């Protein structure tokens, strides 16, 4: 007998809705669809679950209002479209949730908000407070101020980051596909739906390819990677069609719809989850085979003697990657020395740090408490 959907037992759920669904394939906001999702979220809320909504659509709505038929490439044009579209998107959600007796709050985030530890904690506290007040947060990337350096890149990733931020039990990604297939069903009619798999299974990344439409940015690969990221905090993911009738309420009542990707890895602590969720790193160090084994198998700190090469420019306290000789990321963490200092003490024993630099901050380049395996 098939087990119930993971959403049935979830207390806190993040729901992500894609641009093509929100804007009826870019033809402007689909108010009927937004009404249906508001009704479903209200029903799920009535089951005693906390729901956070991550909604794309601001740029697509702005494009429609401005009469643009193709997604612009220039950042300032994207920002302008987002600024125009965000007005209509927020108003549409607020009006429909209010009619159902639910209050909403607009929350706009950038990667910089989550990369900075203090801002990360502030965002976390704000979302928790909204949930305690029975408010439904409607979250989007802050495209009006975003640049290439701080951009999430797609709201699938944002959905996973929010899932980890609030320690949600499950992430639901609603898309224009029925779920994850063994091949692209648009090109392979014989492709079959994958009903369940483990989040992070490399096979899923192999079969998921291509990008989204001219309106959306993602594609199935971003959803697979989002599920992998959400699994780091122990959250399960369901990828399903947003056009499936009553999809959210049916999932919440235990029905299996779409593809369920279960989390099998242990939950990370909040601090280590923050480290793992860094999308842009300041630099990286190449470590030797012994250091890679010590990090992977023994949970050790990274000592300077295990570093072969220092790449990039970073300051003390930045998050950097530790990669092996083949360039594969082994771990990432908060570094105790700036890149210029790390280059001087690389391949040197801890006992020589003070004589080389004239001081010693810490005996480790990255302490194991500030390090998370990749």
| Parallel/antiparallel/unpaired status of strands 196-198 and 135-141 | unpaired
Rounded Cα distance between 302 and 371, Å, is 9
Strand partners, 302: 366
Indicate if the pLDDT at residue 64 is higher than 90. no
How buried is residue 204: exposed, middle or buried, by Cβ count under 10 Å (0-12/13-18/19+)?
buried
Which range is least confidently modeled, 72-86, 88-102, 229-243, 245-259? 72-86
H helix or E strand, kind and range, residue 15 = strand 12-17
List, in order, residues 6 or more apart from 247 with CB less than 8 Å away.
Answer: 40, 174, 240, 241, 257, 258
Indicate if the pLDDT at residue 215 is higher than 60. no
Q: What is the pLDDT of residue 153?
A: 61
Q: What is the pLDDT of residue 275?
A: 85
In this prediction, residue 115 has a pLDDT band, given cuts at 50, 70 and 90, of confident
Summarised one tens digit per residue, pLDDT across range 358-372 is 999 889 999 988 899
Q: State whether residue 104 is helix, strand or coil.
A: strand
Give the torsion sign (CA, 152, 156, 160, 162): positive
Q: What is the pLDDT of residue 212?
A: 42
Rounded Cα distance between 188 and 205, Å, is 17
Provide DSSP, 226-245.
Answer: HHHHHGGGT-EEEEEETTST
How much is the mean pLDDT over the chain?
89
| Parallel/antiparallel/unpaired status of strands 12-17 and 50-55 | parallel
Work out the percent of the chain whose per-residue pLDDT is above 70: 94
Indicate if the pLDDT at residue 12 is higher than 50. yes
Report yes or no: 283 and 365 within 8 Å, Cβ to Cβ: no
Q: What is the pLDDT of residue 211?
A: 41
Work out the percent of the chain whose per-residue pLDDT is above 90: 60
In this prediction, residue 146 has a pLDDT band, given cuts at 50, 70 and 90, of low
List, in order, residues 6 or more apart from 28 with CB less than 8 Å away.
Answer: 61, 64, 65
Task: Tell me which of 212 and 263 has the higher pLDDT.
Answer: 263
In this prediction, residue 10 has a pLDDT band, given cuts at 50, 70 and 90, of very high
H helix or E strand, kind and range, residue 171 = strand 170-175
Which range is least confidently modeled, 30-39, 55-64, 290-299? 55-64
Summarised one tens digit per residue, pLDDT across range 255-285 is 999 999 999 867 777 678 888 888 778 899 9
In this prediction, residue 217 has a pLDDT band, given cuts at 50, 70 and 90, of very low
Cα Rg of the chain, angstroms:
22
Rounded Cα distance between 172 and 159, Å, is 9
Domains of the chain: 12-272 (3.40.1160.10), 281-373 (2.30.130.10)
């Amino acid at each position: 007998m098939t087990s119930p959907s993971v959403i049935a037992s979830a207390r806190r759920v993040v729901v992500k809705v894609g641009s093509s669904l929100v804007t009826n394939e870019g033809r402007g906001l689909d108010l009927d669809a937004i009404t249906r999702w508001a009704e479903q979220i209200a029903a799920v809320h009535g089951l005693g679950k906390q729901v956070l909504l991550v909604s794309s659509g601001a740029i697509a709505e702005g494009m429609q209002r401005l009469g643009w038929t193709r997604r612009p490439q220039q950042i300032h044009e994207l920002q302008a479209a987002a600024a125009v579209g965000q007005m209509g998107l927020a108003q549409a959600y607020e009006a429909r949730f209010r009619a159902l007796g639910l209050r909403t709050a607009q929350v706009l985030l950038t990667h910089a908000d989550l990369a900075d530890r203090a801002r990360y904690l502030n965002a976390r506290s704000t979302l928790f407070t909204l949930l305690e007040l029975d408010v439904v947060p409607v979250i989007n990337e802050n495209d009006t101020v975003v640049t290439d350096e701080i951009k999430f890149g797609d709201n699938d990733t944002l959905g996973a980051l929010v899932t980890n931020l609030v320690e949600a039990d499950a992430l639901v990604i609603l898309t224009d596909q029925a779920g994850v297939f063994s091949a692209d069903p648009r090109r392979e009619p014989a492709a079959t739906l994958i009903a369940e798999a483990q989040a992070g299974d490399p096979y899923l990344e192999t079969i998921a390819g291509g990008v989204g439409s001219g309106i959306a940015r993602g594609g199935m690969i971003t959803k697979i990677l989002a599920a992998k990221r959400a699994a780091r905090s122990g959250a399960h993911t369901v990828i399903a069609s947003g056009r499936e009738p009553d999809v959210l309420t049916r999932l919440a009542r235990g029905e299996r719809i779409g593809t369920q990707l279960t989390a099998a890895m242990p939950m990370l602590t909040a601090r280590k989850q923050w480290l793992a969720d860094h999308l842009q790193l300041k630099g990286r160090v190449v470590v030797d085979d012994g250091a890679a084994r010590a990090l992977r198998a023994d949970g050790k700190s990274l000592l300077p003697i295990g570093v072969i090469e220092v790449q990039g420019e970073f300051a003390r306290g930045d998050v950097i990657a530790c990669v092996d000789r083949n360039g594969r990321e082994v771990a990432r963490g908060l570094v105790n020395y700036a890149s210029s200092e790390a280059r001087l003490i690389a391949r040197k024993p801890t006992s020589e740090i003070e004589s080389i630099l004239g001081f010693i901050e810490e005996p480790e380049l990255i302490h194991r408490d500030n390090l998370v395996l990749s």
